[in-house]
Amino acid sequence: MSTSTLPDGDRRHARREATRKAILEAAESIVLEDGVEALKSKALADRAGISERSLFNHFPNLNEVVLSRITSYLTRLLSEPEIPAGLPISEIPDALDRKFRASFDRPEADHLFNSFLALSLRLDTEMVDLLGRHVVLTLADVSNQIMESTTKNYPDLDFDQNIRVRMYISNLTNGIAFGLLRGIHRMGVLDSPTCGSPEHDGDLSPKSFQGTEALELLNLEFLREDIDWAFEQVAIGRPRI
Protein backbone atom coordinates (compact mmCIF):
# COMPACT_ATOMS: atom_id res chain seq x y z
CA MET A 1 0.00 0.00 0.00
CA SER A 2 1.31 3.44 -0.94
CA THR A 3 1.82 5.85 1.97
CA SER A 4 -0.34 8.38 0.09
CA THR A 5 -3.41 6.16 0.65
CA LEU A 6 -2.86 5.87 4.41
CA PRO A 7 -4.64 8.02 7.03
CA ASP A 8 -2.67 11.12 8.08
CA GLY A 9 -1.43 9.62 11.35
CA ASP A 10 -0.32 6.39 9.70
CA ARG A 11 1.31 8.31 6.85
CA ARG A 12 3.36 10.41 9.27
CA HIS A 13 4.40 7.27 11.13
CA ALA A 14 5.43 5.56 7.89
CA ARG A 15 7.50 8.58 6.83
CA ARG A 16 9.15 8.74 10.23
CA GLU A 17 10.02 5.04 10.13
CA ALA A 18 11.38 5.39 6.58
CA THR A 19 13.60 8.30 7.65
CA ARG A 20 14.82 6.41 10.71
CA LYS A 21 15.66 3.40 8.54
CA ALA A 22 17.58 5.60 6.09
CA ILE A 23 19.60 7.11 8.96
CA LEU A 24 20.48 3.70 10.41
CA GLU A 25 21.49 2.26 7.04
CA ALA A 26 23.58 5.33 6.20
CA ALA A 27 25.35 5.18 9.57
CA GLU A 28 26.16 1.51 9.08
CA SER A 29 27.61 2.19 5.63
CA ILE A 30 29.83 5.02 6.88
CA VAL A 31 31.15 3.04 9.86
CA LEU A 32 31.85 -0.08 7.81
CA GLU A 33 33.55 1.89 5.04
CA ASP A 34 35.59 4.43 7.00
CA GLY A 35 35.33 3.62 10.72
CA VAL A 36 33.32 5.15 13.53
CA GLU A 37 35.54 8.25 13.59
CA ALA A 38 34.17 9.17 10.14
CA LEU A 39 30.61 9.34 11.44
CA LYS A 40 29.88 13.08 11.52
CA SER A 41 26.44 14.64 11.55
CA LYS A 42 26.77 16.36 8.16
CA ALA A 43 28.18 13.26 6.47
CA LEU A 44 25.42 11.12 7.95
CA ALA A 45 22.65 13.55 7.03
CA ASP A 46 23.97 13.85 3.47
CA ARG A 47 24.21 10.07 3.09
CA ALA A 48 20.66 9.61 4.44
CA GLY A 49 19.29 12.42 2.26
CA ILE A 50 17.98 14.51 5.15
CA SER A 51 18.91 17.68 7.06
CA GLU A 52 21.03 17.64 10.21
CA ARG A 53 18.04 19.03 12.09
CA SER A 54 15.93 16.08 10.97
CA LEU A 55 18.70 13.71 12.02
CA PHE A 56 18.60 14.94 15.61
CA ASN A 57 14.82 14.84 15.66
CA HIS A 58 15.20 11.07 15.42
CA PHE A 59 18.29 10.44 17.55
CA PRO A 60 19.77 12.44 20.45
CA ASN A 61 23.38 11.88 19.32
CA LEU A 62 25.52 9.97 16.83
CA ASN A 63 26.48 7.24 19.31
CA GLU A 64 22.81 6.41 19.71
CA VAL A 65 22.46 5.95 15.95
CA VAL A 66 25.25 3.37 15.75
CA LEU A 67 24.26 1.54 18.92
CA SER A 68 20.63 1.36 17.82
CA ARG A 69 21.71 -0.18 14.52
CA ILE A 70 23.91 -2.76 16.24
CA THR A 71 21.32 -3.86 18.78
CA SER A 72 18.60 -4.04 16.12
CA TYR A 73 20.39 -7.10 14.74
CA LEU A 74 20.34 -8.72 18.18
CA THR A 75 16.61 -8.02 18.52
CA ARG A 76 15.88 -9.55 15.12
CA LEU A 77 18.05 -12.56 15.94
CA LEU A 78 16.22 -13.40 19.17
CA SER A 79 12.64 -12.33 18.40
CA GLU A 80 11.74 -15.30 16.19
CA PRO A 81 10.19 -17.84 16.31
CA GLU A 82 7.33 -17.30 18.75
CA ILE A 83 6.20 -19.82 21.36
CA PRO A 84 3.23 -21.78 19.95
CA ALA A 85 -0.09 -21.63 21.77
CA GLY A 86 -2.01 -24.67 22.95
CA LEU A 87 0.79 -26.63 24.63
CA PRO A 88 0.30 -28.24 28.04
CA ILE A 89 1.50 -25.71 30.61
CA SER A 90 4.12 -28.16 31.89
CA GLU A 91 5.79 -28.09 28.44
CA ILE A 92 6.30 -24.31 28.30
CA PRO A 93 9.90 -24.38 29.66
CA ASP A 94 10.92 -26.96 27.02
CA ALA A 95 9.18 -24.86 24.36
CA LEU A 96 11.16 -21.83 25.49
CA ASP A 97 14.40 -23.82 25.16
CA ARG A 98 13.44 -24.85 21.63
CA LYS A 99 12.45 -21.29 20.74
CA PHE A 100 15.84 -19.84 21.66
CA ARG A 101 17.79 -22.65 20.02
CA ALA A 102 15.70 -22.24 16.86
CA SER A 103 16.58 -18.52 16.82
CA PHE A 104 20.17 -19.50 16.03
CA ASP A 105 19.22 -22.21 13.52
CA ARG A 106 17.26 -19.98 11.14
CA PRO A 107 18.82 -19.33 7.70
CA GLU A 108 19.19 -15.60 8.44
CA ALA A 109 20.85 -16.11 11.84
CA ASP A 110 24.40 -16.03 10.46
CA HIS A 111 23.74 -12.79 8.57
CA LEU A 112 22.19 -11.09 11.60
CA PHE A 113 24.98 -12.17 13.93
CA ASN A 114 27.76 -11.23 11.50
CA SER A 115 26.17 -7.80 10.93
CA PHE A 116 26.00 -7.31 14.71
CA LEU A 117 29.64 -8.30 15.04
CA ALA A 118 30.96 -6.32 12.05
CA LEU A 119 29.72 -3.05 13.52
CA SER A 120 30.62 -3.92 17.11
CA LEU A 121 34.26 -4.54 16.21
CA ARG A 122 34.57 -1.04 14.77
CA LEU A 123 33.65 0.75 17.99
CA ASP A 124 36.15 2.62 20.11
CA THR A 125 36.66 1.75 23.79
CA GLU A 126 34.12 4.28 25.06
CA MET A 127 31.44 3.05 22.70
CA VAL A 128 32.12 -0.60 23.56
CA ASP A 129 31.16 0.23 27.14
CA LEU A 130 28.00 1.96 25.92
CA LEU A 131 27.22 -1.03 23.71
CA GLY A 132 27.32 -3.32 26.74
CA ARG A 133 24.62 -1.23 28.38
CA HIS A 134 22.57 -1.17 25.19
CA VAL A 135 22.81 -4.95 24.88
CA VAL A 136 21.51 -5.36 28.44
CA LEU A 137 18.57 -3.05 27.71
CA THR A 138 17.90 -4.79 24.40
CA LEU A 139 17.85 -8.21 26.05
CA ALA A 140 15.43 -6.84 28.65
CA ASP A 141 13.15 -5.59 25.86
CA VAL A 142 13.33 -8.94 24.05
CA SER A 143 12.53 -10.73 27.32
CA ASN A 144 9.52 -8.51 27.91
CA GLN A 145 8.21 -9.10 24.38
CA ILE A 146 8.52 -12.87 24.76
CA MET A 147 6.93 -12.73 28.21
CA GLU A 148 3.96 -10.75 26.89
CA SER A 149 3.51 -13.13 23.95
CA THR A 150 3.73 -16.20 26.19
CA THR A 151 1.33 -14.93 28.84
CA LYS A 152 -1.10 -13.85 26.09
CA ASN A 153 -1.03 -17.37 24.62
CA TYR A 154 -1.35 -18.94 28.08
CA PRO A 155 -3.81 -16.79 30.08
CA ASP A 156 -4.50 -19.66 32.51
CA LEU A 157 -1.06 -19.45 34.12
CA ASP A 158 -1.48 -18.71 37.80
CA PHE A 159 0.64 -16.10 39.57
CA ASP A 160 3.45 -18.47 40.60
CA GLN A 161 3.58 -20.11 37.17
CA ASN A 162 3.72 -16.71 35.50
CA ILE A 163 6.62 -15.62 37.70
CA ARG A 164 8.55 -18.85 37.02
CA VAL A 165 8.09 -18.49 33.26
CA ARG A 166 9.21 -14.86 33.35
CA MET A 167 12.30 -15.70 35.40
CA TYR A 168 13.24 -18.49 33.00
CA ILE A 169 12.84 -16.27 29.93
CA SER A 170 15.06 -13.66 31.57
CA ASN A 171 17.67 -16.30 32.43
CA LEU A 172 17.67 -17.62 28.86
CA THR A 173 18.19 -14.21 27.24
CA ASN A 174 20.96 -13.28 29.65
CA GLY A 175 22.49 -16.74 29.27
CA ILE A 176 22.82 -16.18 25.52
CA ALA A 177 24.72 -12.95 26.14
CA PHE A 178 27.14 -14.68 28.51
CA GLY A 179 27.54 -17.60 26.11
CA LEU A 180 28.55 -15.26 23.29
CA LEU A 181 30.92 -13.41 25.61
CA ARG A 182 32.47 -16.72 26.69
CA GLY A 183 33.04 -17.76 23.09
CA ILE A 184 34.51 -14.42 22.05
CA HIS A 185 36.88 -14.50 25.01
CA ARG A 186 37.78 -18.16 24.43
CA MET A 187 38.83 -17.36 20.87
CA GLY A 188 41.07 -14.54 22.03
CA VAL A 189 39.20 -11.61 20.51
CA LEU A 190 38.79 -9.99 23.91
CA ASP A 191 41.55 -9.18 26.33
CA SER A 192 41.05 -10.68 29.78
CA PRO A 193 40.13 -8.09 32.40
CA THR A 194 42.84 -7.25 34.89
CA CYS A 195 41.29 -6.31 38.19
CA GLY A 196 42.67 -3.08 39.56
CA SER A 197 44.69 -2.37 36.44
CA PRO A 198 44.41 1.26 35.31
CA GLU A 199 44.97 0.13 31.73
CA HIS A 200 41.89 -2.10 31.77
CA ASP A 201 39.87 -0.85 34.74
CA GLY A 202 38.11 -4.21 34.79
CA ASP A 203 36.71 -3.87 31.27
CA LEU A 204 36.86 -6.22 28.30
CA SER A 205 38.08 -4.56 25.14
CA PRO A 206 38.58 -5.83 21.58
CA LYS A 207 42.10 -6.67 20.50
CA SER A 208 43.44 -5.19 17.30
CA PHE A 209 42.78 -7.24 14.19
CA GLN A 210 43.91 -6.68 10.64
CA GLY A 211 41.30 -6.63 7.88
CA THR A 212 38.54 -9.19 8.34
CA GLU A 213 40.49 -11.53 10.61
CA ALA A 214 38.04 -11.17 13.51
CA LEU A 215 35.01 -11.71 11.29
CA GLU A 216 36.60 -14.81 9.78
CA LEU A 217 37.34 -16.15 13.25
CA LEU A 218 34.07 -15.20 14.89
CA ASN A 219 30.96 -16.61 13.32
CA LEU A 220 27.88 -18.31 14.65
CA GLU A 221 29.11 -21.80 13.84
CA PHE A 222 32.31 -21.35 15.85
CA LEU A 223 30.33 -19.90 18.76
CA ARG A 224 27.60 -22.54 18.74
CA GLU A 225 29.49 -24.59 21.35
CA ASP A 226 29.37 -21.64 23.72
CA ILE A 227 25.71 -20.91 23.02
CA ASP A 228 24.87 -24.56 23.73
CA TRP A 229 26.95 -24.33 26.91
CA ALA A 230 24.90 -21.32 28.01
CA PHE A 231 21.62 -23.13 27.35
CA GLU A 232 22.85 -26.10 29.40
CA GLN A 233 23.79 -23.85 32.33
CA VAL A 234 20.40 -22.15 32.32
CA ALA A 235 18.54 -25.44 31.84
CA ILE A 236 19.85 -26.61 35.22
CA GLY A 237 17.37 -24.17 36.72
CA ARG A 238 14.49 -25.03 34.37
CA PRO A 239 11.29 -24.51 36.40
CA ARG A 240 8.54 -27.04 36.95
CA ILE A 241 5.16 -25.48 36.33
Residues 55-100 have pLDDT tens digits of 999 999 999 999 999 999 989 988 888 888 999 999 999 999 999 8
Degrees to nearest 5, angle at CA 43 with 37 and 46:
160
Residues 193-205 have pLDDT tens digits of 443 333 434 344 4
Q: pTM of this prediction? A: 0.78
Q: In the chain, what are the domains? A: 1-59 (1.10.10.60), 64-235 (no CATH)
Write the secondary structure of 114-159 as one string of H (helix), E (strand) and C (coil): HHHHHHHCCCCHHHHHHHHHHHHHHHHHHHHHHHHHHHHHCCCCCH
Asked whether the beta carbons of 15 and 27 are under 8 A apart, the reply is: no
Q: What pLDDT, on the 0 to 100 scale, is given for residue 90?
A: 92
According to DSSP, the residues that pair with 206 across neighbouring strands are 190
